[in-house]
A and B are shown apart, each in its own frame.
Chain A
């Protein structure tokens, strides 16, 4: 039996605000196989983004384990987590979060600065990533010179350029119109099907969720698997 990409066991997350303790979820257990495309849905405050942060190692659980390819990441140091993220995870945000001072190509090149690749190879990879998302012709443009959809494509190229195992997407189409959103989602689907990238996507949008292989509804700290999309 092949090892799952992620194994979450008895995962709990609680916050303390003043004297009040808020439980986001309690003893959550789930498995994400390699190559999966999951849409996580749920009402605001249900802990979708918190779960994504735990999967990405940018937040730590109150208890429980997050295991990635057989290795626990919840107890790693910040330095080790940074290295792990650079090698294994690509992030896509709702508001793109591109560096305004850099061109599209330079934004995409950013994760490669953490590798030992030479300048020539980095350029080649950037070109390939931009080609995959269909925005190579805008490589020299700054984010302010690009539309929302184009910026999100650049963000996707940045997420895949280091060839990570998994893409973690937080409302990737939340700031886009329907047609552009569909284009971006189709690109994500392509990355999942053609390149085998596992994708975990948090979304409010049922139409967006339909691009995933399965939908998980997070409500009151529990998962409800709604349907499988083929």
Chain B
């Protein structure tokens, strides 16, 4: 027997109570980890944004396009190394519920803008040279079981062709992916020219510009130059870093960070009260035993550590089980092609786990502090009720 045995035996002396407490803690950390996993995935664009990448959008809103000429003009701005442009196609495959995130881009400059993307099937040349080529992200290909050489039609719920239809035919000629799992590969790319020349309306417009600067230290200056260039024009621009653009894009869904903070905060506050009160009661029930230990010669600081260790152990076991369960659930979800297609790289991840462990330690310390203090200060003679 050692000190750890005492802690363990005391913690599980009332099994039902311990299990219920563990379950409440488990639920709180399950909520935390699941929400954390979604938050991480939704913000993957922010995390993986390159430091030297800027995005220029129409100042009104990024859904409002800009003249095609802006692309060439921005290329001449001092400090700009590469400029590409992209356009939101929307798109679905066969029926509207099969959403396919598709962008019409200039292939060569786009691939230069995103050097982290690499072709795992087909080749860059195939994509550059075939006007009807659809380059598909690996996650999207997995979702629809698409392979190079297949011909697929995609419908747009925004755009229309001159013949009145809204479906475009594509040849899958390349599949791309990134080494970093956090870099999304759940979308498809195709030639802007093929898109633009077939449009019934809004031709010669671009959705947004992607700019690589010569050095991240030049970002501010380049942003200011670009926006100044188009100031007082019918389509003023707003240039931000890619990270800020991604964050703004995600915030359209709502303030995810705030939602997660509020939900997990409410869960933790509840757990704090439940576990804290129960720990105080549990230690009060053991006042006599603690007095016996002190009588035997256990010093007060050791009693303090023992009680605090109990609440820490409780919090760690419940919390780790919660995060473990969340990781299993998220893994199961990520096995579904629909989920992996729309939320690539969905996982709890180490960052969420380590933050969770930090919360477990904080929860254990906060809930254990008062009972540990009471136990440490307990007067032996009073505890025996024989004053």
Which A residues lie at the B interface, using CB under 8 A?
Answer: 15, 49-50, 53, 56, 58-59, 78-79, 82-87, 89, 91, 93, 97, 99-102, 106, 109-111, 113-114, 119, 158
Interface flags, B222-244, vs A, CB<8A=1, else 0 = 00000000000000000000000
Give A165 to B239 CA distance when docked, in angstroms.
84
Q: Which residues of chain B (293-309) have a CB below 8 Å from chain A?
A: 293-301
In the bound complex, residues from chain A placing their C-beta under 8 Å from that of B1 are 102, 106, 109, 113
- Residues of chain B lying within 8 A (CB to CB) of residue A56: 295
Q: How far is the CA of A158 from the CA of B296 in the complex (A)?
A: 9
Q: A114: which of B292, B297, B387 is its contact (CB, 8 Å)?
A: B297
Q: Return 30 A-B CB contacts under 8 Å, by A number.
A: A15-B387, A53-B380, A53-B381, A58-B380, A79-B299, A82-B294, A82-B298, A82-B299, A82-B300, A83-B299, A85-B297, A86-B297, A87-B297, A89-B297, A99-B292, A100-B13, A101-B9, A102-B1, A102-B6, A102-B9, A106-B1, A106-B5, A111-B297, A113-B1, A113-B2, A113-B6, A114-B296, A114-B297, A114-B298, A158-B296
Interface of B is mostly: helix
CB nearest neighbor in B for A97: B292
Query: How far is B384's CA from A50's CA once the two chains are assembled, in angstroms?
Result: 11
Chain B residues 338-386 with CB under 8 Å of chain A are 380-381, 384, 386
Interface magnitude class on chain B = 20 to 34
Residue B220 at the A interface, CB < 8 A? no
Is B288 at the interface (CB under 8 A from chain A)?
yes
Closest A-chain residue to B297, C-beta based?
Answer: A86
Kindly identify which residue among B6, B289, B300, B381 contacts A79, using a CB–CB cutoff of 8 Å: B300
Residue from B9, B295, B384 in contact with A85 in the complex, judged by beta carbons closer than 8 Å: B295
A44 vs chain B, min Cβ distance (A):
11
Which B residues are CB-close (under 8 A) to A82? Answer: 294, 297-300
> Shortest CB–CB separation between residue B120 and chain A, in angstroms?
57
Q: How far apart are A133's CB and chain B's nearest CB, in angstroms?
A: 17
Chain B residue with Cβ nearest A86: B297
List, in ascending order, chain B residues with CB within 8 A of A78's CB: 299-300
